[in-house]
Each structure stands twice: as C-alpha cells, then as structure tokens.
Amino acid sequence: MAGTLGKRGKAGAGAALLGLVLLLSACVPGPPEPSPRPSPGTTSPGPAPSGPPSPTAAPSPGETVHFTAQGDIGISSGARKVLDVVAGLQPQFNLALGDFAYKAGFEQEFCDMVTGRLGGEFPYQLLTGNHESDGRDGDIGKYVQCLPNRMPGLQGEYGTQWRMDVPEQNPVVRFILVSPGIDFADGQPLDYSRDSERWRWTVDAIDDAKSRNIAWTVVGMHTPCLSVGNYDCQAGQEFTNMLIEKKVDLVLSGHDHVYQRTHQLATGANCRELVPASFTAGCLADTGSSMTQGSGTVFATVGVGGVGLYNVKTDDPEMRYFASTSGKNQDPALGTLDVTATPEELAARFVPADGYTFTDTFTLRRG
C-alpha cells in the first residue's frame, strides 16, 4: 500500500508542476493583435470635424434638410462676411448659384477662401454663372476641380446641369440645377428651348420627383426671369412658365445683385401665362408669407453673396409680383437664404451678413 501511495504522490506532484508551468506560460504576453481594418467605404476614426458636417454626415431619411443658397460672390471682404454667416448657420450643404471670383486665374484663390471658412470637406455645391461659363472671367471646369461635388447620388454634369435627392434614400427634397440664359464656349448658350434635350431633362427630373412623392422640388439657375434689378428675362419666358405649370415649389437664382422674392405665382384661368415686363393680377396665387404647396411657385433671387449691389427699380411693372426686395437703394444687404425642409414644411429666411439688418421670411406647407 505504501508503494501505491508513493506512486500516487509522485503523480500528484507531477500534475502540480505541470499546472504551474501552464499558469506561468499564460502570463507571458503574446504578439499584439493587428488593429481592425475599416469596412469598405468607411474611414478610420479621427478628430471630430469642426464647422458644418461633411458629406458623410448627410441627412438620414426623415431628418430635416438644411441648406443655404446665394450667388454673385466675389473674393472681397463682403464675400467673406457672407461665408461667415453660412459657417455660423451650419447647413448640411450650400448651393452656390454662379458668378464666383469674377476674374480669370483666381479659381484657386476663391476655392481657398471657401474652404478656409467652411472646411475642406464641406459640400459647397456649384452651379456656373455667366462669369465662368465661357472662360472669360474664370473657368467652371477649374472650379469644380477645387470644389468638387461632395453630395451622394448626384446625377448629371456637376457645375452645369445636375440633380440630387436629399436625403439620398427616402428623400425630402429634389434639387434640379440648370443653366439657361448664359453663354458657354464660343459665346453659345445651352439650348433650353421647348422640347430640346435640356428642356426634356428638366421636365423629366420634375415629373420623376412628383411620381416618387418627394415632398419638395427646388430648381436652381443662375439667371432669373422676373426681376426688378438690372436684367430682363434671361432664363426664358417659356422655360419659366414651364416651371410654374409643373408646380415647382421654389426657384432660386442669382445674377441680379439684389435680393427679391415673389409671391406665389400660378398660371390658369386667370393667368394664361406669365409675361415678363408686365403685370397680371391673376398670376398671383397667394400673397401671404405662409403659403400652401401646390398653389403656385415662389421665385427667389439671392444675388447678394458678396459683390456690389444693384438698385431696385420700384417703377418696374413686375414689382407687384414681389413680396420682398432689397438692393443698393432700398434696405441694402449682403447675405444668404437659409432654408429648412421637412416632409410637411419648407421654411426660408434671408439672413444678412454682419453690418446689415434686412431680412425676409416665408413658409410653404403641404396641404
């Protein structure tokens, strides 16, 4: 029995020694595990971004869409003041409605001014104006290189004719940006005449938005048609009436260096068509600041992004179409239009730059 007990004792001691070895080996650190690789389409975590959200923070389905819009910007202190307003509002993106540096060879300086105030990844979405469309005072091709599209799902020719839905999935707003009424290479305008390819592209984009039940349709173009500033109907009478007939909710433009916002306008039994340089009371669908979607179209020119202002011509026959105006001789202000949209409401306000006081507000609500 003593021998049996001795063997068991040796076996027990051996087992204890083996356990001690295993325990010690477990305490020795092994090689470090590699850091997890990001999934495709994502980036490694970094410092929290400053300023407005980057395109990766585009609005999610059901969220409020928040954007700013202005044109006729320049590279002066006025332009920087307006960019500071945009930075303070922190929109999800900005629509730049044409006429940027006003000088050939200053494209990069303009882009640096924008990114210096809004951040290198902020979606500062471009539409050409007449000062960069034909290359004489700048080149839209160079602008789109240094301020490229940063919004998902954009279709078309960025900088000239494009569309996007925001948010990309279950969108609240369709944006349609077009370029009627300005010259391009060799002094030739793009063809937006009735039933042309670009006319049909615009009509199809509007109709598609309505067929998909997107709540709001916003069209942007550099040139307005109705104006109490310096210019006549450069966007084209037929094209403008088509936008009204299609019940586009909001049409944004620049070009005239004033702020001007129409009442809600409509065509029908009391207004066969809108005729520039005249006034027809039957074209006024709603003259209040709170309007119902589907009753007509609101046109807003925001040509006050930083350059010198034009006078408002108060004796212009079209003046009675306008609910609010601002220019060199009347409540002068540089600034931006600030717009928020939900599935039920589109609300806009003019926000002046530092040193100015003029403002304007209007709202469209779904009936």
Q: Is the pLDDT of residue 62 over 80?
A: no
Q: Is the pLDDT of residue 340 over 90?
A: yes
β-strand partners of 127: 159
Angle of helix 77-89 relative to helix 107-118, nearest 10 degrees? Answer: 40
What is the predicted pLDDT for the residue at 119?
98
Percent of the chain with pLDDT over 90: 82
Mean pLDDT of the chain: 88
Q: Is residue 5 part of a domain?
A: no
pLDDT tier, 57 (very low <50, low <70, confident <90, very high otherwise): low
Lowest model confidence (mean pLDDT) among 3-12, 71-80, 82-91, 262-271: 3-12
Q: Is the pLDDT of residue 54 over 50?
A: no
pLDDT tier, 186 (very low <50, low <70, confident <90, very high otherwise): confident
Q: Is the pLDDT of residue 25 over 70?
A: no
Q: Is residue 44 part of a domain?
A: no
Alpha carbon 60 to chain centroid, angstroms: 16
Q: Is residue 52 part of a domain?
A: no
Q: Is the pLDDT of residue 234 over 60?
A: yes
Distances (CA, A) of 68 to 33, 52, 94, 111, 326: 46, 12, 5, 17, 18
Q: What is the pLDDT of residues 205-231, one digit of tens each?
A: 999 999 999 999 999 999 999 999 999
Q: What is the pTM of this model?
A: 0.84
Q: What is the pLDDT of residues 106-152, one digit of tens each?
A: 999 999 999 999 999 999 999 999 999 999 999 999 999 999 999 99
Q: List, edge to edge, every strand of the sheet that includes 345-352.
A: 124-126, 93-96, 65-70, 335-341, 345-352, 360-365, 290-292
Lowest model confidence (mean pLDDT) among 39-48, 56-65, 205-214, 299-308: 39-48
pLDDT tier, 28 (very low <50, low <70, confident <90, very high otherwise): very low
What is the predicted pLDDT for the residue at 273?
97
For residue 136, give its domain range.
Answer: 65-365
Q: Render 321-337 in DSSP notation, one character per residue.
A: GEEEEEBTTBS---EEE
Question: Which has more pLDDT, 40 or 202?
Answer: 202
What is the predicted pLDDT for the residue at 367?
84
Q: What is the pLDDT of residues 297-329, one digit of tens each?
A: 999 999 999 999 999 999 999 999 999 999 999
What is the predicted pLDDT for the residue at 63?
82
Q: Is residue 48 part of a domain?
A: no
Q: Is residue 144 part of a domain?
A: yes
Percent of the chain with pLDDT over 70: 83
Please name the amino acid found at residue 285. Answer: A
Residues 6 or more apart whose CB falls under 8 angstroms from that of 136 comprise: 104
Q: What is the pLDDT of residues 352-363, one digit of tens each?
A: 999 999 999 999
pLDDT tier, 60 (very low <50, low <70, confident <90, very high otherwise): low
pLDDT tier, 61 (very low <50, low <70, confident <90, very high otherwise): low
Q: Is residue 179 part of a domain?
A: yes
User: CATH number of the domain that 262 lies in?
Assistant: 3.60.21.10
Question: Which has more pLDDT, 176 or 16?
Answer: 176
Q: Is residue 337 part of a domain?
A: yes
Q: Is residue 154 part of a domain?
A: yes
**Domains held by the chain: number:** 1
